Structure 1
Amino acid sequence: MDRKELIEQIRAKKSFLCVGLDTDINKIPECVKKLVDDKCEDEEDRLSMYIYAFNKIIIDATAPYCVAYKPNLAFYECYGIDGLYAYERTVEYLKEKYPNHFIIADAKRGDIGNTSKMYAQSFFEGNSQVDAVTVAPYMGEDSVSPFLSYEGKWVILLALTSNKGSHDFQLTADSDGERLFEKVLRVSQQWGTDQNMMYVVGATQGQMFEDIRKVAPNHFLLVPGVGAQGGSLQEVCKYGITKDCGLLVNSSRGIIYASNGDDFAEVAAKKAKELQEEMAAELKKISF
């Protein structure tokens, strides 16, 4: 999906919501497990089916209100081949049933050139290819450029994250007063453009979005941290929104685990709709 297509989806849905599929087997409602148990005779397939069945129901419930999904690879890789199979089935389901939704593999890869080339291949080729992958920029250009060689695909670089430890390094300034996250933004724009590169900026950073926009005025930002982590959508939009929207705001736990009862899908849809309506109001302010 290219930038124009993404913007068209945001405009059509009046939403820039990304739903994070951080699927924890311990948080999947018992009603989903029972549904799988009643149908699945093979014990070896059961764990994979729990994850996939939950994802499928969440996707169907929230698809009308979001433009993107972001499966977090850690929540799949920890279960080995079963988790990876569930991840691949989830991506394939999205591509088949909801082809206009943007798919982000939240993998935070970043390694030397040859290794990055293989990582890029794993996410951007084959049946389970996605639209974008998150990448750590610490090792520099040669660790990022293999991902940028795929036409129509996106790299989402970590810039200023929402966790408490982000201040340990990302706000460190050099002798000229340039902070590390600002250097990442400035230098990386020599590698890619606003047509194939986005940045991760945590919603908890608040007014720092103003500083982000001074360095990267036109790039899309993937914004985690709204909801469970305490970030404010209104504050993010106040300082970070652009004439093209320029934001994909992610919510994971606040939507997919809003209820652990039989009504979990309905509650997830309700939470996604509430965010979508708030986003529609913010887009209206800029006449988008």
Structure 2
Amino acid sequence: MKNAQTQPFAERLRTAIKRAGSPLCVGLDPDPQRIPSHLGEGIAACRSFVKRIIESTHDLVAAFKANTAFFEAYGPDGVALLEEMKGCIGENALLIVDAKRGDVAHTNEAYARVFFGRMRADAVTVQPYLGGEPLEPFLRDPARGAFVLCATSNPGAAEVQNLATERGPLYLEIARHVRTWSEHANIGLVLATTQPEAIKSVLEVAPELPLLLPGGGAQGGRTREVLALLKRKQALGLFTFSRSVIYASSGKDFAEAARRECERLKAELV
């Protein structure tokens, strides 16, 4: 039997979903303005908050998605906390570093060393604007994955992502290109659940790509509709919920409230 760290990324993702019994991913966005006040302030409060969320929910989720900006805002101590994250999560759930990086290849080499080396991440989010060739450092290891931004949930996304091409909107053209960017089946797409029509179109042209599906909870994503689309195509996807889980309570029961919300979401994602 293969070691978990040497399995192809798509296989590792399926294994994590099967173990959790759900395609649920919890987003870790530790906003200092929303961390429960009884934990104190600064990086100590952030560390306690994040670790208690992980401890309370790790057996219910297939992955955690750490938004690097919220950690980097704490300076070197926040980056150090990111480097501790995989040790807290363990090997059963995946760690996705939500960094949205994308540069020329030699710069991406350095990013890959940080995310897959120091942080021991299982996957990273990346930008497609420079094309597929510069993303090779993120895709070299078949056991590690990259999710490419495709159709996002922010209000201004359509300004660029819906630009017309000869074969349809730009986001659909991105999906077509991403299919050709890795021979290891370790590349996927970021598609917001607030965009079910975009997801339906992408599943027609690239049904084999794993999907990272943010936008649920506070952003009003249409989770059940998207789940039905994925089941119809037997597609692989992770549904990400951040604020609705980690800020389910602002009191001393915040970790227990996060777990209750995960239990509710797990039942919804069957």
Determine the C-alpha separation between the residues in 1 that align with 2:206 and 2:147. Answer: 13
Question: How far did residue 31 of structure 1 move?
Answer: 2.3
| One-letter amino acid matched to 2:117 | E
Partner of 1:51: 46
Determine the C-alpha separation between the residues in 2 that align with 1:81 and 1:18. Answer: 26
Partner of 1:3: 10
Deviations 1:222-247 (A, max 9, x none): 00000100002101112233665511
- Higher Cα radius of gyration: 1
Does structure 1 residue 111 correspond to structure 2 residue 103?
yes
| One-letter amino acid matched to 2:95 | I
Which is further off, 242-251 or 217-226? Answer: 242-251
Does structure 1 residue 124 correspond to structure 2 residue 119?
no
Rate the CA distance shift 1:89–1:13 in 2: closer, same or farther, 3 A.
closer
Partner of 1:158: 149
Determine the C-alpha separation between the residues in 2 that align with 1:197 and 1:244. Answer: 17
Does structure 1 residue 229 correspond to structure 2 residue 219?
yes
Unaligned regions of 5+ residues in structure 2, if any? Answer: none
Does structure 1 residue 15 correspond to structure 2 residue 22?
yes
Does structure 1 residue 141 correspond to structure 2 residue 148?
no
What is the aligned-residue RMSD (CA, Å)?
1.6
Determine the C-alpha separation between the residues in 2 that align with 1:155 and 1:57. Answer: 27
| One-letter amino acid matched to 2:26 | V
In the alignment, is the contact (CA less than 8 A) between 2:22 and 2:61 conserved in 1?
Answer: yes
Rate the CA distance shift 1:56–1:85 in 2: closer, same or farther, 3 A.
same
Question: How far did residue 52 of structure 1 move?
Answer: 1.3
In the alignment, is the contact (CA less than 8 A) between 1:19 and 1:250 conserved in 2?
Answer: yes
Percent pairwise identity: 37
Determine the C-alpha separation between the residues in 2 that align with 1:164 and 1:9. Answer: 32
TM-score by length of 2: 0.92
| One-letter amino acid matched to 1:211 | S
In the alignment, is the contact (CA less than 8 A) between 1:47 and 1:82 conserved in 2?
Answer: no
Unaligned regions of 5+ residues in structure 1, if any? Answer: 34-45, 281-288
Which is further off, 58-67 or 7-16? Answer: 7-16
| One-letter amino acid matched to 1:188 | V
Determine the C-alpha separation between the residues in 1 that align with 2:142 and 2:19. Answer: 24
Alignment of 1:7-86 (within 5 A): 7-33=14-40, 47-86=42-81
Determine the C-alpha separation between the residues in 2 that align with 1:272 and 1:158. Answer: 25
Question: How far did residue 32 of structure 1 move?
Answer: 2.1
In the alignment, is the contact (CA less than 8 A) between 1:14 and 1:279 conserved in 2?
Answer: no
| One-letter amino acid matched to 1:87 | L
Determine helix, strand or coil for the equivalent of 2:128: coil
Determine the C-alpha separation between the residues in 2 that align with 1:191 and 1:211. Answer: 19
Determine the C-alpha separation between the residues in 2 that align with 1:245 and 1:10. Answer: 13
| One-letter amino acid matched to 2:102 | G
Question: How far did residue 194 of structure 1 move?
Answer: 7.0
Does structure 1 residue 269 correspond to structure 2 residue 265?
no
In the alignment, is the contact (CA less than 8 A) between 2:203 and 2:233 conserved in 1?
Answer: no
Question: How far did residue 49 of structure 1 move?
Answer: 2.0
Determine the C-alpha separation between the residues in 2 that align with 1:151 and 1:9. Answer: 16
Determine helix, strand or coil for the equivalent of 2:99: strand
